[in-house]
C-alpha cells in the first residue's frame, strides 16, 4: 500500500465524496441515466468537472463504458438508479465480465432501512450480479466511500480486469461527513516470472517441429502487443488469433494465418490441427475457437500462458502452464530457436490456398468485399465497433487491423446492440479516431435510441448498416441445421433506416448495387459529423467457411 496525505477535514455529503473519489482515480467521462435513488449523486455531478454522457438507455450506458475501458485500458464508469435502472445495466456488466473489461458500476439503492421491504424500485442488484462481477460492494457507511472506490478501481484494472459494482444506498449518498478521508490506494505487485515454467516452455518449443502461436484478448488487455510481436518475429512462429486477439499481430503480416475457429480462416484451422505444439497466450480455449474440444489440436502439446490461474487446464490440460504477466514471460523466452522453414512454408502454402476470394457473381453488394475495401480506404486505421451476427464475422474475416483496440466486438457474450453504444464510448475515449459502427438490421434495433446520444453531443460516428431483412446468422443456422424451417427471422417489415437516421439529425444514404460501393464509402468516411450508409444485401448470403457442430476445426463447410 502507498499512503497518500489525508484530506483536510471539511463537511461533505456521501455523493460529494463519491465524486471526489472518482476524480482522484482519474475518471474524466462517465455514462449514465438518472433516477430517484441515484439523484443525490447527480446533484453532486453539477459543476464537478466530470463529463457525464446521458445515454438513452442504461444498457447503452454500460456498453459505452465497456468500449471506453477497452480503448483506454482504464475502468469505464457507468451509473444508474435502483430497480430497473440497475437491472438494465446487467447485460453490459455481463459483457464486460465475459471479455475481461475494466469497469466500475455505481447503482443507486433505496435507503438502508427500506432494504428488504420491497420498497419502490428496490432490487437486489448485488445478488443479481454476483456471477458477472469481479467484486461488489454495498456501501453502508459514508466514511467508507473513498477507500471502497479506490479499491474498486484497483480490482477492476489489475490482474485479469473485470467489472466491479458499488451499490450506493440513498441515505449514505445524502449523509454528511466531516471526518478525515483516508485516500490510501492499493498498489499492484506484478507476478514474478516463473523461471521454471519459462525454461520448460523454451524446451518444448525447441523440441517441436511444427509450433503455432495463438494470440488472445489478454494480450491487448495487458498492453503487451509489442512484446508478443517481437517474440513471434524472433522465433519465426506462425500466428493465429481468437476473435478478441485480432490486431495483436498486423493482419497483413506474412506470419499471420487469420482468425481460427468456427468462422475462421481455413489456413489457421489447418495449422492448429496439424501443429505439434500450441502456445496459447492470453486466450481461454473458447468453444467458438476450438470446435469440438476433443478433436482440437489432436497432436499438439500445450503451452498455456495466462495471468488467471483459473483458466489454466480448465478446458484443455496444459503440458506447460505459466501463470504470470504475459509481457515479462514472453521477454524471458530468449533462447527459443527459429522455427523449421518447412513448417513455415507449409503454413504459407495453406494461407495462399485458402486466401479469401472476392469475385462473387452478380451486381449485388458482396459484404466481405465492401468491408475489405472500407478498412483499406484511409491511411489512418479505422476503429470498428461491431454488433453481433453475420456482419461481425465478416468484419473479423475481412477487415484489416494493426491494433487490437481498433476492433471492438462482443466476444464472450455475443451482445446484439453492442455496436452503437460501443462506438460512442470508443470515440469519446479517443476523439482523434475515425470510428465506424458496423451493424445489422437486427442488431441496430436493439439500441437504436443511442442515435439521440450522437445528436445531443455531436459525436462523430459513422454507421455502416448491412441490411439483409433478416436475423442473418440465425437464418443461416436454420437453413443448414434445422431443415430450412425459418422461425421468427424475417425482418422485412423494418423501417427505412435512412429515414430513421435523418430523424435523429444524421445524414444518410442507401445503396444496393456493387457499382455504388466505392463512392458511397468515400462519402461515409468524408462526411462531416455522424452519418449512416444503409447497405442492402442479399438475404440468402451466408458466412463461409463454417465449422459445423460436433466437428473438428479443419472439417469446415465452404458452401451449400
Q: From its phi and psi, is residue 82 left (phi > 0), alpha (psi between -120 and 50) or beta?
A: beta
> pLDDT digits over 36-70, tens only?
999 999 999 999 999 999 999 999 999 999 999 99
The whole-number average pLDDT for the span 211-215 is: 98
Cite the beta strand spans of 254-411 per DSSP E. 256-259, 277-281, 301-306, 320-323, 383-386, 407-408
Q: Is the pLDDT of residue 2 over 50?
A: no
Confidence tier at 560 by pLDDT (50, 70, 90):
low
C-alpha cell at 348: 504459407
With the CA atoms of 235, 205, 283 and 322 taken in that order, what torsion angle do they form, in degrees rounded to the nearest 10? -120
- Give the count of beta carbons closer than 10 Å to the beta carbon of residue 59: 28
Q: Is the pLDDT of residue 7 over 70?
A: no
How is residue 495 annotated by DSSP? -
Share of the chain above pLDDT 70, in %: 98
> pLDDT digits over 406-461, tens only?
999 999 999 999 999 999 999 999 999 999 999 999 999 999 999 999 999 999 99
Alpha-carbon gap, residue 398 to 35, rounded angstroms:
43
The whole-number average pLDDT for the span 214-226 is: 97
How many CA atoms lie less than 13 Å away from 276 in the CB half-sphere?
10
Q: Mind listing the domains of the chain with CATH numbers?
A: 12-177 (3.40.50.970), 195-353 (3.40.50.1220), 367-536 (3.40.50.970)
Average pLDDT over the chain, rounded to an integer: 96
Cite the beta strand spans of 86-231 per DSSP E. 103-109, 135-138, 163-169, 176-177, 211-215
Alpha-carbon gap, residue 396 to 411, rounded angstroms:
11
> pLDDT digits over 324-341, tens only?
999 999 999 999 999 999
Confidence tier at 8 by pLDDT (50, 70, 90):
low
- Show the CA angle centred on residue 125, arms to residues 70 and 284, nearest 5°: 40
Strand order in the sheet with 256-259: 256-259, 239-241, 211-215, 277-281, 301-306, 320-323
- Give the count of beta carbons closer than 10 Å to the beta carbon of residue 207: 12
Q: Is the pLDDT of residue 32 over 90?
A: yes
Q: Which of 390, 382, 388, 380 is nearest to 413 (CA)?
A: 388
CB–CB of 427/433 below 8 Å? yes
- The alpha carbon dihedral of 391, 393, 399, 403 has a sign of positive
Task: Scan for cell 421491504, then name that residue.
Answer: 117
b/e per residue, 9-44, with b = 16+ CB within 10 A?
eeebbbbbbbbbbbebbebebbbbbbbebbbbbbeb
With the CA atoms of 286, 291, 296 and 297 taken in that order, what torsion angle do they form, in degrees rounded to the nearest 10? -90
Alpha-carbon gap, residue 178 to 183, rounded angstroms:
15
> pLDDT digits over 473-504, tens only?
999 999 999 999 999 999 999 999 999 999 99
Amino acid at each position: 500500500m502507498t499512503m497518500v496525505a489525508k484530506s483536510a477535514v471539511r463537511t461533505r455529503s456521501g455523493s460529494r465524496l463519491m465524486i471526489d473519489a472518482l476524480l482522484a482515480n482519474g475518471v474524466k467521462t462517465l455514462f449514465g441515466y438518472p433516477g430517484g435513488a441515484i439523484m443525490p449523486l447527480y446533484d453532486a455531478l453539477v459543476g464537478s468537472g466530470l463529463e457525464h454522457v446521458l445515454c438513452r438507455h442504461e444498457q447503452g450506458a454500460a456498453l459505452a463504458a465497456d468500449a471506453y475501458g477497452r480503448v483506454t485500458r482504464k475502468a469505464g464508469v457507468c451509473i444508474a438508479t435502483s430497480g430497473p435502472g440497475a437491472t438494465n445495466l446487467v447485460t453490459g456488466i455481463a459483457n464486460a465480465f465475459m471479455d475481461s473489461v475494466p469497469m466500475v458500476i455505481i447503482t443507486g439503492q433505496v435507503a438502508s432501512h427500506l432494504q428488504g421491504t420491497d420498497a419502490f424500485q428496490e432490487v437486489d442488484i448485488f445478488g443479481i450480479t454476483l456471477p458477472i462481477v469481479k467484486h461488489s460492494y454495498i456501501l453502508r457507511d459514508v466514511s467508507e466511500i473513498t477507500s471502497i472506490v479506490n479499491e474498486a478501481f484497483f480490482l477492476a484494472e489489475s490482474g485479469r480486469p473485470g467489472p466491479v459494482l458499488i451499490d450506493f444506498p440513498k441515505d449514505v449518498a445524502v449523509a454528511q461527513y466531516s471526518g478525515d478521508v483516508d485516500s490510501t490506494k492499493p498498489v499492484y505487485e506484478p507476478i514474478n516470472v516463473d523461471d521454471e515454467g519459462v525454461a520448460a516452455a523454451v524446451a518444448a518449443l525447441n523440441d517441436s517441429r511444427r509450433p503455432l502461436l495463438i494470440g488472445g484478448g489478454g494480450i491487448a488487455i495487458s498492453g503487451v502487443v509489442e512484446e508478443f510481436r517481437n517474440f513471434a518475429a524472433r522465433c519465426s512462429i506462425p500466428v493465429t488469433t481468437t476473435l478478441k486477439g485480432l490486431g495483436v499481430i498486423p493482419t497483413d503480416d506474412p506470419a499471420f494465418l487469420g482468425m481460427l475457429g468456427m468462422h475462421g480462416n481455413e489456413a489457421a484451422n489447418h495449422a492448429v490441427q496439424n501443429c505439434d505444439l500450441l502456445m496459447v497466450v492470453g486466450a481461454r480455449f473458447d468453444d467458438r475457437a476450438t470446435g469440438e474440444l476433443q478433436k482440437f489440436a489432436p497432436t499438439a502439446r500445450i503451452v498455456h500462458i495466462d495471468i488467471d490461474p483459473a483458466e489454466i487446464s480448465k478446458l484443455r490440460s496444459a503440458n506447460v502452464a505459466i501463470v504470470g504477466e504475459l509481457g515479462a514471460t514472453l521477454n524471458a523466452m530468449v533462447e527459443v530457436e527459429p522455427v523449421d522453414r518447412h513448417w513455415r512454408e507449409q503454413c504459407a502454402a495453406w494461407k495462399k490456398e485458402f486466401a479469401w476470394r472476392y469475385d462473387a457473381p452478380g451486381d449485388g453488394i458482396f459484404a466481405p468485399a465492401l468491408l475489405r475495401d472500407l478498412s483499406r480506404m484511409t491511411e489512418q486505421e479505422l476503429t470498428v465497433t461491431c454488433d453481433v451476427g453475420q456482419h461481425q464475422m465478416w468484419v473479423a474475416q475481412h477487415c484489416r487491423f494493426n491494433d487490437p483496440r481498433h476492433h471492438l466486438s462482443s466476444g464472450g457474450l455475443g451482445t446484439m446492440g453492442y455496436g452503437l453504444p460501443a462506438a460512442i464510448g470508443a470515440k469519446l475515449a479517443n476523439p482523434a479516431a475515425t470510428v465506424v459502427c458496423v451493424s445489422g438490421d437486427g442488431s441496430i434495433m436493439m439500441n437504436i435510441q443511442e442515435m439521440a446520444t450522437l445528436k445531443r453531443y455531436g459525436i462523430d460516428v459513422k454507421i455502416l448498416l448491412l441490411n439483409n431483412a433478416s436475423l442473418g446468422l440465425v437464418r443461416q443456422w436454420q437453413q443448414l441445421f434445422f431443415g430450412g424451417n425459418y422461425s421468427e427471422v424475417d425482418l422485412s417489415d423494418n423501417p427505412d433506416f435512412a429515414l430513421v437516421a435523418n430523424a435523429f439529425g444524421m445524414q444518410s444514404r442507401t445503396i444496393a448495387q456493387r457499382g455504388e460501393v466505392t463512392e458511397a464509402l468515400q462519402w461515409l468516411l468524408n462526411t462531416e459529423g455522424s452519418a449512416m450508409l444503409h447497405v442492402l444485401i442479399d438475404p440468402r448470403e451466408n458466412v463461409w467457411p463454417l465449422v459445423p457442430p460436433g466437428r473438428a476445426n479443419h472439417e469446415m463447410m465452404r458452401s451449400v
